[in-house]
Each structure stands twice: as C-alpha cells, then as structure tokens.
C-alpha cells in the first residue's frame, strides 16, 4: 500500500505543473495586506475570506473615489484663488510701474523748478545790484547839481527835473525787483507743491509695494497648497489603480481557489500536529504577536538561530519559489498540495531550486538575517490557499523542546 506522500506525488505528476505555478502566482500577486506582518485569523472559509477582501477593496475604492472628487474640487478652487492672486500681483506691478513714471516726471519737474529758482534768485540779485548802483549814481548827481547851483548860479528848475528823473529810475528798479521776487515766490510755491506731490506718490508707491508683496505671498501659499493637493491627488489616483489591480487579482485568486477545491489529496492535512520545526533555535515571535513597530502582527513564527545553520523542509513538496523577496529576504516556498504551502524566510543562502521535489527534513537553505530582523533566524509560515494559519498547530507537540536545544 502506497503512503500518502507517494500518492500525493503521483497525483502531482498527473496534474503536471499547473498547481504549483498557480499557487505561486496566487501567493506573489496577493496585495500587501495579505503578506506577513498583518494579522489574519485562521479560518477554513477561504472563498468567503477572499470575497470579503474583494468587498473591502471595493469599499476602499469607493472611499478613494470620493476623496479624489473632493481633491479635484479643492484643486479647482485653489487654481481660481491662485489666478486671482497672480492677477492682483500683476495689477500692482502695473500700478507700481505707473507710479515710477509719475515720480520720475515729478523729479524732472522739480529739477526744472530748481533751475528756475536759481535763475530767479540770480535775477533778483542782479536787480538789487542795479538798484544799488542807481542809488549811488543818484546821490552823486544830486550832490553835483546842488554844488553847481551854488557855484554857477544855474537854474534851480534843472535840479528839480533831475531829482524827478532819478526818482522815476529808482521807482522802476524797485518795481522790477518786486516783480522778480514775485516770480521767485511763484516758482518756490510750485516747487513746494511738486515736492509735496512727489512725496505723496512715494507714499502710494510704498503702499502698493506692500500690497504686491502680500498678493505675491498669497499666490506662493496657494501655489504650495495646490502642489500638495496635486501630489495627493496623483497618489490617490495611483492607489485607485493599485486597488483595482488588487481587486482583479483577488477575483482571479478566488476563481482559482474554487477550481482547486475539487482536487484534494489530504496528504498535508493528515500530518497536522506532527511536523518538526524547520530549525532548532529560540522561539523569538509567535503567530499573532504584535510587532515592535506599529500595530502589525506576526503571521508566522520567527525562530532565532545561528548564522549558517541548516534550514529543513517540514514536509514533502515541490519548491515553487527560491529567491529574494522584499520583506522576506531570501525566501523558499514549498507547495504541499491541497492549497497548503510552507514559507521559510530570512535565509542567508537557498539550496533548493524552483521545480525541485524535496522530502521532509531535506536541507533547503541556511540561516541568515536577510529578512530585515536585528537577529539571525528563520521566519516560518504555513498558508492555506495563500492565507496564513498558526504554524504551531501543525508542528509536533515537542517542537519547542526541539528548537530550544
């Protein structure tokens, strides 16, 4: 009578490579939520669990779609606010340019008035000099006329006429000086008014500059927020695409599991509670324990062991994966049939190759620390239809004694 292992092996030969390839793809295509580090309660209702995963994924898709719609609305509002702020900045820029032109025009006007004031002051000084000279001349004429009248007995009427002429000359000079002073005062008033207007324009320019800076700061803030919203929107869009891909894979997995349910050999399940530990060492973490980081839980056992120690297959089966996998390090996966697989992660080297048939107890790898742990050891899982189950229920009762040796 053939043993269960031989019967299973014959059955696998008849089935060809379809089953291991299918299970390999199903395992590797699972979303991150089904990989080690997330707690999953043991259940025999595998199809119902996958259906629940599909339902959860659909709910997440709905929530993400709502978030994307909200983000798009916010993006539209931010774009309008940004355009308004940029428009205000542009308007202030134009205003400042206009004010600069006005201030330059007043500067030119002030320079011209300064020139006119200088010329007017020079004119006043010239008139004052002419008046002084006229006064001196008049005084000299007056003295000479009086002397001639006394010495030469000239007509006194001539002296009177000369005196009247002198008064007219002096009066004309005084009028010219007053007119020049009036012109000077007018120009000075115009200069004062232009200076006042120029200072007022500088004040307006200062306020416009402050407004421009405020609008520019608002525009920068809106631009930053818009960038954050767009980045979040891109991330959510990528998440939707990933969730849709996960949903499709889950649906494919459920279809495959439905097909596989009709091909049960019973080989692996017959050994439940009798399998040896994959390596002798110290039990570092149990199934369901909370990890040191976050609220994630262990989906298998971590057995602490020395580097280079041999890692053994717990049961007969076919190697369907033997390579590095992110989060697992150097990983070996063995297919035991009926949807059961055992995983051995964190190895230093792998000795088994894909497609190789291994017997229970065969060396498939050596202990390492490639799985990202701070200590060396083996991360060991048992999965049924790609769902992690508690390995301790499948190992022999004395496995803890064995690994402590």
Find how far residue 123's CA is from the centre of its chain: 72
Distances (CA, A) of 106 to 100, 189, 202: 10, 14, 11
Identify the three-state secondary structure at position 319.
Answer: strand
The CA distance from 32 to 327, in Å, is: 10
In eight-state DSSP terms, residue 289 is P
Q: Where are the domains of the chain?
A: 73-244, 268-402
End-to-end CA distance of the chain: 37
Instruction: Provide the residue-wise pLDDT of the chain in tens; the chain has 405 residues.
Output: 345 455 445 555 444 433 444 444 444 444 433 343 333 333 334 667 777 878 888 888 888 888 888 888 888 888 888 888 888 888 888 888 888 888 888 888 888 888 888 887 887 787 778 777 766 766 665 555 555 554 554 566 666 676 787 777 778 778 878 887 888 888 888 888 888 888 888 888 888 888 888 888 888 988 898 888 888 888 888 888 887 887 787 677 666 666 655 556 788 999 999 999 999 999 999 898 887 665 678 889 999 999 999 999 999 999 999 999 888 899 999 999 988 999 999 999 999 999 999 999 999 999 998 887 889 999 999 999 889 999 999 999 877 655 655
User: What is the separation of C-alpha 324 from the centre of its chain, rounded to a whole number of angstroms?
Assistant: 32
Position of tokens 């355009």? 83
How far is Cα 360 from Cα 404, in angstroms, rounded to an integer?
20
Q: What angle do CA 376, 377, 378 make, to 5 degrees?
A: 145
**Tokens matching residue 78:** 């931010």
Query: For the purposes of burial, counting CB atoms within 10 Å of the CB of 48, is it exposed (0-12), middle (13-18) or buried (19 or more)?
Result: exposed
| Encoded tokens for 235 | 């991330």
| C-alpha separations of 399 from 295, 309, 346, 358 in Å | 28, 17, 20, 21
CATH of domain 268-402: 2.70.70.10
Q: Are 370 and 329 in contact (CB under 8 A)?
A: yes
Q: Where are the alpha helices (DSSP H) in 44-155?
A: 46-152
Please give the CATH number for the structural domain made up of 73-244.
Answer: 1.10.287.1490
pTM for this one? 0.41
Counting every residue written for the chain, the total comes to 405
Give, for 312, the enclosing helix (H) or strand (E): strand 310-312
**Strand (E) or helix (H) holding 383:** strand 377-384
Helix (H, G, I), strand (E, B) or coil at 202: helix
- Joined tokens for residue 316: 């007969």
- DSSP H or E stretch at residue 161: helix 156-260
Rounded Cα–Cα distance for residues 302 and 403 (Å): 11
DSSP states of 322-381 as a string?
A: EEEETTTEEEEEEEEETTEEEEEEEEEEE---TT-EE-TT-EEEEEB-TTS-SS-EEEEE
65-69: long-range pairs with CB below 8 Å, 24+: 65/240, 67/236, 68/233, 68/236, 68/237, 68/240
DSSP codes joined into one string, 245-287 = HHHHHHHHHHHHHHHHTT----HHHHTTTTBPPSS-SEEEE-T
Instruction: Name residues whose C-beta falls within 8 Å of residue 138's C-beta, 6 or more positions apart in sequence.
Output: 166, 169, 170
**d(C-alpha 131, C-alpha 170), whole Å:** 7
Residue with tokens 């525009």: 219
């Amino acid at each position: 009578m053939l043993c269960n292992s031989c019967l299973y092996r014959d059955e696998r030969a008849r089935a060809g490579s379809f089953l291991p390839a299918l299970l390999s793809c199903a395992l590797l295509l699972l979303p991150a939520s089904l990989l080690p580090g997330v707690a999953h309660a043991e259940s025999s209702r595998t199809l119902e669990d996958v259906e629940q995963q599909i339902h959860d994924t659909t709910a997440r898709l709905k929530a993400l779609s709502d978030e994307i719609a909200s983000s798009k609305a916010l993006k539209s509002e931010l774009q309008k606010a940004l355009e308004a702020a940029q428009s205000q900045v542009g308007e202030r820029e134009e205003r400042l340019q206009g004010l600069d032109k006005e201030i330059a025009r007043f500067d030119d006007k002030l320079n011209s008035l300064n020139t006119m004031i200088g010329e007017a002051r020079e004119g006043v000084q010239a008139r004052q000099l002419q008046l002084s000279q006229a006064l001196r001349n008049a005084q000299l004429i007056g003295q000479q006329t009086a002397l001639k009248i006394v010495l030469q007995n000239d007509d006194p009427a001539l002296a009177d006429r000369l005196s009247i002429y002198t008064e007219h000359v002096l009066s004309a000079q005084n009028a010219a000086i007053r007119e020049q002073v009036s012109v000077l005062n007018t120009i000075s008033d115009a200069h004062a008014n232009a200076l006042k207007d120029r200072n007022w324009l500088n004040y307006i320019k200062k306020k416009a500059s402050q407004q421009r800076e405020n609008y520019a700061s608002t525009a920068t803030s809106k631009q930053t927020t818009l960038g954050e919203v767009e980045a979040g929107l891109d991330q959510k869009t990528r998440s939707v695409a990933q969730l849709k891909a996960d949903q499709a894979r889950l649906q494919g997995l459920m279809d495959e599991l439905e097909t596989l349910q009709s091909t049960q050999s019973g080989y692996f399940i017959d050994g439940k509670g009798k399998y040896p530990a994959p390596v002798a060492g110290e039990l570092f973490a149990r199934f369901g324990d909370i990890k040191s980081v976050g609220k994630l839980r262990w989906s298998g056992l971590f057995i602490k062991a020395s580097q280079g120690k041999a890692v053994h297959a717990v049961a007969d089966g076919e190697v369907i994966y033997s390579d590095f996998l992110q989060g697992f390090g150097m990983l070996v996966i063995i297919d035991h049939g009926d949807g059961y697989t055992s995983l051995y992660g964190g190895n230093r080297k792998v000795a088994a190759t894909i497609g190789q048939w291994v017997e229970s107890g065969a060396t498939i790898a050596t202990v390492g620390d490639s799985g990202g742990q701070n200590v060396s050891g083996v991360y060991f899982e048992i999965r049924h239809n790609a769902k992690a189950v508690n390995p301790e229920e499948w190992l022999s009762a004395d496995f803890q004694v064995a690994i402590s040796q």
